[in-house]
A and B are shown apart, each in its own frame.
Chain A
């Protein structure tokens, strides 16, 4: 019995991936370590991100209609397969908690300084739990509306800051050591593009599995191009100050002032974060809940939605001591920590499946 009866189209998958990649990156500008060359780091990172997407979509194409947990059981057997699945579920769970943490830190620093962090976390989690309960179809339909609005808002913000842009701020190009550029681009490939590996738990529900890969590529590519545009805009507006700010996209929108009438538009950026972060948390949350239900062979994943959500809120509350540690992890630890989950598990599983000549037609699975 399948735990998820919903089906999504390849177009919905693309849009959901765009929302997922925007997630926290609307507010935590990727590639910031490269200063005004951030756009170049994102472009290089996008290339590596597409390579990561190629690997995990190759695995999904090899085992059509199966989630990573089911694939692991087939390829490695029950015990080792479940062990690897639990590691991947931990990654999804941790990813959701990290985004929740970013989310609540941003809201606490910029919008609701007097509101307890626990309350914002619980409210966000309840919304995500509700969407996970309703299944992947509902999440995909939401993405069509909210991602379109976010892209429109990003265009609106960009048009309004055009008078404040100075493209000379992007010069000189390649001002940083090549090693630092490559490291930053790798960090960008991992976060946000590589995080799309979470879709290994979703690709099984695409109604035309053969279109899954092109849908993932389109989603990653469009999100990457928008992020490059945002990076160019931020660098052109903020200049040398760009790398100093914690949330440059938010600060860039603060510059907007149309005849003293249209000001404080930065709240639009906050809305973008809240809606896109919702997708990233929900997809990671959905993957973790569905994966755990499959590992324990449950008849429905719904009973464990709330307990997992509570544990995610607890991890989000306690996982780092302060914002500086959070950014240190994002820039240094995270690009290495995620390699086993984003690259090694899908690649090794694919190679082992090819060596074992799985899936066997008419055999244990087809």
Chain B
């Protein structure tokens, strides 16, 4: 599973990075790399079975808890 994730991310990087380097769009490259790295970390965590906190449930519980609904 992790190998599949790495192949997928590698393909995305291969599609985007050469064009950005050729145009010397470093700011865009940095933005792309940071976002892709975040996605990679989270994807590897999911594929390793590490639970990511459910954001929507946390928001819902905070709001309903605050308002006593």
User: Does A315 belong to the interface (CB within 8 Å)?
Assistant: yes
Q: Does A299 make an interface contact (CB < 8 A)?
A: yes
Q: How far, in angstroms, from A300 to B38 measured CA to CA in the complex?
A: 20
Asked if B57 and A303 sit within 8 Å, CB to CB, the answer is no
Which residues from chain B contact A292 at a C-beta distance below 8 Å? 31
Contact of A310 with B by CB under 8 A: yes
Assuming the contacts A311-B42, A314-B46, A318-B46, asked whether A303 and B59 have C-beta atoms less than 8 A apart, the reply is: no
Which listed residue (A296, A310, A319, A332) contacts B55, Cβ 8 A?
A: A319
Q: Restricting to A198-215, which residues have a CB under 8 Å from any CB of B?
A: none
CB of B56 within 8 A of CB of A297, answer no
The residue in chain B whose Cβ has the minimal distance to the Cβ of A335 is: B63
Q: Confirm or deny: B48 has a beta carbon within 8 angstroms of a beta carbon on chain A.
A: no
Q: Among the listed B20, B25, B36, B53, which residue makes an inter-chain contact with A307, where contact means beta carbons less than 8 Å apart?
A: B36
Question: A299 CA to B23 CA in the complex, in Å?
Answer: 11
Taking the complex as formed, is A112 at the interface, i.e. its CB lies under 8 A from any CB of chain B? Answer: no
B15 within 8 A of A: yes
Residues 17 to 46 of chain B near chain A (Cβ within 8 Å): 20, 25, 27-29, 31-32, 35-36, 38-39, 42-43, 46
Chain A contacts with B in 307-343, Cβ cutoff 8 A: 307-308, 310-311, 314-315, 317-321, 325-326, 328-329, 332-334, 336-337
Complex Cα–Cα for A315 and B56 (A): 9
Q: Which among B9, B29, B60, B69 has the greatest number of chain A C-beta atoms within 10 A?
A: B60
CB neighbours (8 Å) of B20 from chain A are 303
Q: Are B36 and A318 in contact (CB under 8 A)?
A: no
Provided the pairs A318-B52, A336-B67 are in contact, do residues A303 and B28 lie with their beta carbons within 8 angstroms? yes
Do A311 and B38 have beta carbons less than 8 Å apart? yes
Select from chain B the residue with minimum beta-carbon distance to A315.
B55
Q: How far is the CA of A46 from the CA of B63 in the complex (A)?
A: 24
Give A337 to B55 CA distance when docked, in angstroms. 13
Q: Could you tell me how many residues of chain A have their Cβ less than 8 Å away from some Cβ of chain B? A: 32
A155 to B9, CA, bound (A): 43
Q: In the complex where A310-B43, A311-B42 touch, is A298 in contact with B31 (Cβ < 8 A)?
A: yes
Number of B residues near A (Cβ < 8 Å) is 31
Q: Report A244 CB to chain B, min CB distance, Å.
A: 22
With CB as the reference atom, state the residue of chain A lying closest to B60.
Answer: A333
State the CA gap A299–B30 with chains docked (Å): 13
Residues on B with beta carbons closer than 8 Å to the beta carbon of A253: none
Tell me if B57 and A314 are in contact (CB < 8 A). no
Q: Contacts of B63 on A, CB cut-off 8 Å?
A: 332-333, 336-337
Known A306-B15, A318-B46; contact A296-B27, beta-carbon cutoff 8 A: yes
- Check: B54 CB closer than 8 A to any chain A CB: yes
Contact A329 B57 (CB under 8 A): yes
Contact indicator B60/A325 (Cβ below 8 Å) = yes
Complex formed: what's the CA distance from A303 to B43 in Å? 20
Pick the contact of B25 from A303, A329, A332 — CB < 8 Å? A303
A333 and B32: CB pair below 8 A?
no
- 20 A–B pairs (Cβ distance < 8 Å), ordered by A: A94-B55, A298-B31, A303-B28, A303-B31, A304-B32, A306-B12, A306-B15, A307-B32, A310-B9, A310-B39, A311-B38, A311-B39, A314-B39, A317-B46, A318-B52, A318-B54, A321-B57, A332-B64, A334-B60, A337-B59
What is the interface of chain A, defined by CB distance below 8 A to chain B?
Answer: 94, 98, 101, 292, 296-300, 303-304, 306-308, 310-311, 314-315, 317-321, 325-326, 328-329, 332-334, 336-337
